[in-house]
């Protein structure tokens, strides 16, 4: 599962270029941002075997500066029913359901506003994102991937469990908003969990300062982070974008635990107590197993003596039930 920003996939055959790169790198599912496609729709690239699903601004809204998000997935996964039809929220949020053998995962593609946007726009986005994620059932895993235009920094001690020991850069306002959201929803940022070179952490180069930053993230529930096998930036894929591809390998099959079979002991043949002779023998055996000073002993000792006497008497006088 991966994430990258596609500057625009409206250019003729841009979808084919991206799909060919996904095929070359053996990618099953990817989140794309800033696609500039209006409305909602799907497109199948048959030659490479991928299907695009996108969510953009309403087609009748010609004045809005629409952004657009998309999810590209292997077509065979859609046809087999492993990946569902998309849930298109708006031009910044969409998701699909991934049905694993023993678990279900909601894969979310999102595109957050930049710090240059109005505060109301930024706050509205995070409110929508929180509402969107909160609606996902607790038993479902979450993979949230996208361009967050946020820097989360390296303060592992202040954000324990949310970011790992391998963050990079300085936190900004959008980073603070993202971290607060993760705390509220028990999420963690996978990019910061793995020790690797900085070139495999950063995702975008500032056009003026030429400094590299980490602003694209893959995020999951804290309780499922052990299923993330790796998460790093890729410099090889060429999708005509100024962002690097962030690639995560995630195990979608829960580990199976096989119960160790235990031999069930047979119960005593208590029906024999209906026979007077057997019942008397059973009672006499219990009494003989108790010492003369039984009444003067403490309760715990009395209990242990009586328990052993009953078990031994039942074994000698009643025997075990015979299985048919």
Of 14-28, 45-59, 160-174, 233-247, where does mean pLDDT reach its minimum?
233-247
Per-residue pLDDT at 258: 55
Per-residue pLDDT at 185: 97
List residues bridging with 216 in a β-sheet: 147
What would the pLDDT profile of 96-120 be if each residue is shown by its tens digit? 999 987 789 999 999 999 999 999 9
CATH 3.60.10.10 domain span(s) along the chain: 2-250
Q: Average pLDDT for residues 222-239, to the nearest whole number?
A: 83
Per-residue pLDDT at 167: 93
* Sheet with 104-111, side-by-side order of all strands: 87-90, 93-99, 104-111, 141-147, 216-221, 187-189
What would the pLDDT profile of 57-76 be if each residue is shown by its tens digit? 876 665 565 689 999 999 99
Tokens of 114: 């930049």
Band (pLDDT 50/70/90 cuts) for residue 77 is very high
* Mean pLDDT over each residue of the chain, to the nearest integer: 85
Classify residue 107 by burial, with Cβ atoms within 10 Å: 0-12, 13-18, 19+: buried
The CATH number of domain 2-250 is 3.40.50.10490: no
What would the pLDDT profile of 265-285 be if each residue is shown by its tens digit? 568 888 888 888 888 888 888
| Residue 185 exposure: Cα atoms within 13 Å on the Cβ side | 29
Per-residue pLDDT at 69: 94
What would the pLDDT profile of 146-204 be if each residue is shown by its tens digit? 999 999 999 989 999 999 999 999 999 999 999 999 999 999 999 999 999 999 998 88
Residue 280: phi and psi, rounded to 5, are -65, -40
Tokens of 8: 């625009």
Band (pLDDT 50/70/90 cuts) for residue 309 is confident
- Asked if residues 143 and 231 have their Cβ atoms less than 8 Å apart, the reply is no
H-run or E-run covering 108: strand 104-111
Q: Which residues of 156-174 are buried (b: 16+ CB within 10 A; e: fewer)?
A: eeebeebbbeebbbebbeb
Q: What gap in Å lies between CA 98 and CA 96, rounded to an integer? A: 7
């Amino acid at each position: 599962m991966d994430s990258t920003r596609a500057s625009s996939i409206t250019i003729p055959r841009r979808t084919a270029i991206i799909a060919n790169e996904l095929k070359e790198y053996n990618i099953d599912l990817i989140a794309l941002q800033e696609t500039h496609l209006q409305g909602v729709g799907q497109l199948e690239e048959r030659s490479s075997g991928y299907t695009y699903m996108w969510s953009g601004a309403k087609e009748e809204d010609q004045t809005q500066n629409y952004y657009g998000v998309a999810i590209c997935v292997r077509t065979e996964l859609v046809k087999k029913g492993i990946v569902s039809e998309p849930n298109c929220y708006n031009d910044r949020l969409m998701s699909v359901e991934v049905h694993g053998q023993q678990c279900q995962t909601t894969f979310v593609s999102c595109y957050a506003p930049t710090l240059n946007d109005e505060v109301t726009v930024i706050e509205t986005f995070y409110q929508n994102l929180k509402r969107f994620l909160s609606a996902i059932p607790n038993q479902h895993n979450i993979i949230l991937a996208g361009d967050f235009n946020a820097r989360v920094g390296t303060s592992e001690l202040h954000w324990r469990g949310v970011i790992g020991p391998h963050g990079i850069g300085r936190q900004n306002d959008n980073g603070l908003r993202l971290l607060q959201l993760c705390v509220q929803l028990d999420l963690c940022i996978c990019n910061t969990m793995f020790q690797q070179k900085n070139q495999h952490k950063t995702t975008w180069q500032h056009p003026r300062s030429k400094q590299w930053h980490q602003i694209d993230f893959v995020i999951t529930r804290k309780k499922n982070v052990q299923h993330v096998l790796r998460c790093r930036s890729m410099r090889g894929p060429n999708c005509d974008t100024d962002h690097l591809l962030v690639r995560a390998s995630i195990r979608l099959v829960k580990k199976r635990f096989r119960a160790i079979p235990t031999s069930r002991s047979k119960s005593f043949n208590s029906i024999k107590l209906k026979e007077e002779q057997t019942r008397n023998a059973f009672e006499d055996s219990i009494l003989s197993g108790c010492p003369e000073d039984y009444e003067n002993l403490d309760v715990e000792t009395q209990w242990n003596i009586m328990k052993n006497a009953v078990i031994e008497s039942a074994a000698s006088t009643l025997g075990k039930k015979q299985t048919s």
